[in-house]
Amino acid sequence: MRETLPRFDERGIRVGCVVQGVAEEMARFCGRHSVESVCIADPERESYRAMGLERTDWWSILLPTPEGRRRRAEAKAAGFPISLRGTFQKHSDVLQLPGAALVGQDGRIQWVHRGSSPSDLPLPTQLIDIAQRLLSARN
């Protein structure tokens, strides 16, 4: 994500990453990834519930899909290995499925993705493309 932040900025798209955990946990996690300026703490996971994001089971964590294994390997190669210690923070739910949303300047959700597995998140470049299409359709 951090590599693509300038591309979002160039297009006038503001990024916010909602992170499970209190402010200290969020700062530690986002600081490790150099994206603390765009992170928002959500220790009660209210935004996750509001977006209708579900929880998974332990099998999907312990036996990831081929896509999940590929994304874990990519993250590790990029210097971001999965950290079990980081995963089991006090305010973190390891079974919480991910999601992504594009929100208009008026605060309304324009597009949402609800992950079906722990690794099911759109790539930042895909989010840029979707945001560009939404912006073009409005003009």
The reply to whether 105 falls in a domain is: yes
* Paired residues of 19 in beta bridges: 41
Q: What is the CATH number of the domain that holds 53?
A: 3.40.30
> What's the pTM?
0.78
pLDDT in tens, 93-103: 889 999 999 88
The reply to whether 139 falls in a domain is: no
Number of structural domains the chain divides into = 1
The reply to whether 136 falls in a domain is: no
d(CA 81, CA 96): 19
Domain span at residue 103 reads 2-131
The reply to whether 39 falls in a domain is: yes
The reply to whether 123 falls in a domain is: yes
pLDDT in tens, 2-42: 788 888 888 888 888 888 888 888 888 788 778 888 888 89
Q: Of 45, 25, 33, 63, whose CA–CA distance to 124 is shortest?
A: 33
The reply to whether 114 falls in a domain is: yes
Residue found by looking up tokens 């994001």 in the block:
53
